[in-house]
Chains A and B, each alone.
Chain A
Amino acid sequence: MNQKMKLLIMSVSMSALLITACSDTGKGKTQTDADDDGTGAVTIHTVTSEYSSAKYPKGDDITNNVWTRRYKEKLNINVKTDWVSDEYETKLNLAISSNELPDVFRVNPSQLRQLVEADMVMDLTEAFEQHASERLKGYMKADADSYESGKKDGKLYGIPQMHWGLIEQPDFIWIRNDWKEELKLQDPKSVEDIKNMALKFMEKHGGYGMAVDQSLDYLNLLAIAWNAHPDMWIEDNSGKLTYGSIQPEMKNALAEWAEWYKLGIIDPEFAIKDFNAMNADIVAGKVGIQPYYQWWGYNPGVDTIANLGKDAIFYPYLIPTVDGKEAKQSIFFANNNYIVMKKDAANPQAVIEILNDYAYIVDEGNGKEKPETLSALLDNDIAHVVGAFRVLNPNSDYEQFEAVSKALETKDTSGLTTSGMWQKYNNSVEFIKNATPGATGDYLQQGAPKNAYGLAKKVLDSNNYIKTALWGVTPEALSSYGTTLDDILTEGFTKIIMGSESIDYFDVVVQNWRAAGGDNAIEAVNEAYGK
């Protein structure tokens, strides 16, 4: 019996351990705060994702910082963050599953759809109508399509957080300047020019001519040179919506690329290189041409200048077409985040007030608030830690660029009214003076003699672009395939480029795409966005 006693005791204590573990939650949720703590202050709960590059003053973090204190002091609102996570999407899905929603939080389009379907979010139409400031409403007018995408049956469920503007979308062909100058080459005016430039670079410096990666994203953005618009939805001849990647123009682009691959212009190892591997050769100075986004200056720009010096700088050029014109750019729907509130949240107007305040600080604060206040709120990336509590001005980068380029031209800085403008201006000046690698990003985007936004502005002003017809939330039938439909195309196109299949294989690839679900996708998109 002694033995058994011991065993019994052990089993019981094990189970007791378990039970104490359960009650030992300690740091678990013990929120029993009433929404009103007696001083008339309102308490709102939220959740957010990490923002690792913000530099907080000592003692602050993402849940306790200059913004949260401002909400308390200026607006009498207590903001409590229930959790912060790096795996925000997953953690939010788990919170939704266990019915632990905070009062206000941001969601992606598919979560918005699911929450609306499950009737778990509040109808914000009235709250927004009554409490949103003129400025905030102005944002919604500036990008009415994004505003609509947050509605269902006319009711507003998700306030779109917007973006920095269409000006950040056009793509360019980036060319290494010192190589171009030494060979006395002209700016590329046609695709033939690019090809010849690449061959000349290869002759002089060896290696291959153009850097791209396995996703084909960079070649795809170059495809507009052949008037093809892959990855987006456009009208075909009959007025029906179809996918740009399967159009005949794409076939022309691919045929040319296969040619270039044979000539060694395209990196022979592109098919196994990812983003970082692709840029490694740029940073190492082995290749001089790259089709890329407007933010080249940040990455790989900074590393390239740091590694090779300021003469190795690349400048952007508008992508020319095969017949010598400027290519029409592809513009995509840019809003991916929405602010929602849970169904029975108590203070929707408090949230709107915070949104109004953010817009005010960013756009109107200069001159009205003390510089130190503004600096503490917006510099060092503190502007980005507010999680769900902001809506961006969809024209911000356009206005910013206008002000910055004017200031650089006239040396008159009175037009610089937001801290974003000052940062771009200062960094551009910094690069011009000292070629500081860290300033390369801002310089090449807005301050250089040949800069990305300058070209982008030209594209926007002259309307030389096409918007994708899928201007809003992706239909479920399409998103249920994830990237697997595009993968069929990527796989097939890679084979064509590398020469393991002839150009006629294109038709087989398209057929496979259709059969695997492409036709379903076409139908769904037409239903949602067709005429």
Chain B
Amino acid sequence: MIYDKSISRRVFLIINYTILLTISLLCVLPFVNLLAVSFSSSSAVSAGSVTFWPVEFTTKAYEFALSGGAFYSSLWVAIQRTVLGTLVNLVLIVLTAYPLSKTKQKVMGRNVYMGFFIVTMLFSGGLIPTYLVVVKMGLIDSIWSLILPGALPVFSMIILMNFIRGLPEEIEESAIIDGAGPLQVLIRIMLPLLKPALATVGLFSIVGHWNSWFDGIIYMNNPANYPLQSYLQTLLQSFEQMMLKSGSDYTQLLSMMNARTGRAAQMFLGAIPILLIYPFLQKYFTKGLVLGSVKG
């Protein structure tokens, strides 16, 4: 990039950095507050006295969340599910996006396939029928129940498809002339060029798998099979749930008090792994491909 050293440019850069810094700070502050809350006593949090620094420092919330083997076993389940799930997602996304990026002359019925997938983005049978299918497939208590439904994220697939379309046709054509079949073209030529897009949709998959908790609770009968977020969810008693139960279990009331600090600790524990991975993935976003322009 050729640098422009004019004054207006410099001014712009200063303003730019200021804006970026301010926005970034605004984004980080709630997180700092969260951290402080997670290390504060529940009575201080109930009184609303915690801002950016812990009040009455205590590690009780973390002890509670980390105690017992359940935290670590659910962490392992979450890692398994995220790695496997993302791999399955990426493979399917690539295998689907490539043929669909072609015209209907090159791939017959391509529009029909496309419509087939798009419908699933808009319509859903709902919780009960999906559950029944999962049961009939014998996936209850299996990690595949968290991976196979939704194994092809259509949104991500469409993004990748458009990226592929943006690449110049000459690249493929020259490979085909050299005698390569579609699969070889895909794997040897296209994949390396798709790295930024793959990193992008890969990140969506990772975050999606890591954060989802409801499917774990529904499809796993044995709590030992819960992934991390499902397990963390069970530690907290929500107010509505408690009020709807019969009679007032006084000890439930007591445990409710720890909810806010507990939730903060839970959030923090759940977010850390992703925030650690994110910078590593970033280098794929920022490495551009020095090749042709993006076509409209």
Contacts and interface: CB of A to CB of B under 8 A. Distances in A.
**A–B contact via C-beta, under 8 angstroms:** yes
Interface of A: 2-4, 6-7, 10, 18, 21-29, 50, 52-53, 82-87, 90-91, 93-94, 97-98, 100, 161, 163-164, 168, 274-277, 279-281, 283-285, 293, 295, 298-300, 302-304, 306-307, 334-337, 381, 384, 392, 437-438, 441-442, 445
5 contacts: A28-B138, A87-B217, A90-B127, A284-B48, A445-B250
Which of B46, B142, B182, B183: most chain A CB closer than 10 A? B46
A90 B131 CA distance: 11
A168 B237 contact: no
B184 A3 contact: yes
Interface stretch (B3-11, B159-167, B240-248): B240-248
Interface stretch (B37-45, B110-118, B264-272, B279-287): B37-45
A432 B263 CA distance: 33
B18 interface: no
Contacts of A285: 47
A28 B141 contact: yes
B218 interface: yes
Contacts of B244: 336
B251 interface: yes
Given A3-B181, A22-B137, A280-B47, A303 B255 contact: no
A29 B138 CA distance: 9
Interface in B41-68: 41-44, 46-49
Given A3-B184, A52-B234, A302-B43, 12 more contacts: A2-B181, A3-B182, A6-B183, A7-B182, A22-B139, A25-B141, A52-B237, A84-B223, A93-B128, A283-B43, A302-B254, A303-B257
Interface residues of B, number: 54
B140 interface: yes
A306 B43 contact: yes
A283 B222 contact: no
Interface string B226-264: 000000011111010000111111111111110010000
A413 to B, nearest CB: 21
A151 to B, nearest CB: 18
Contacts of A384: 249, 251
B144 A21 contact: yes
Which of A284, A303, A335: most chain B CB closer than 10 A? A303
A6 B235 CA distance: 48
B132 interface: yes
A295 B41 CA distance: 22
Contact of A441 (B49, B139, B250): B250
A384 B217 CA distance: 22
Contacts of A93: 128
B148 interface: yes
Given A28-B142, A98-B135, A303-B43, A381 B251 contact: yes
Given A3-B182, A29-B140, A337-B246, A91 B218 contact: yes
Contacts of A302: 43, 254, 257
Given A27-B222, A284-B49, A94 B128 contact: yes
A439 to B, nearest CB: 11
A334 B132 contact: no
Contacts of A6: 183
Which of A86, A277, A302, A384: most chain B CB closer than 10 A? A86
Contacts of A25: 138-142
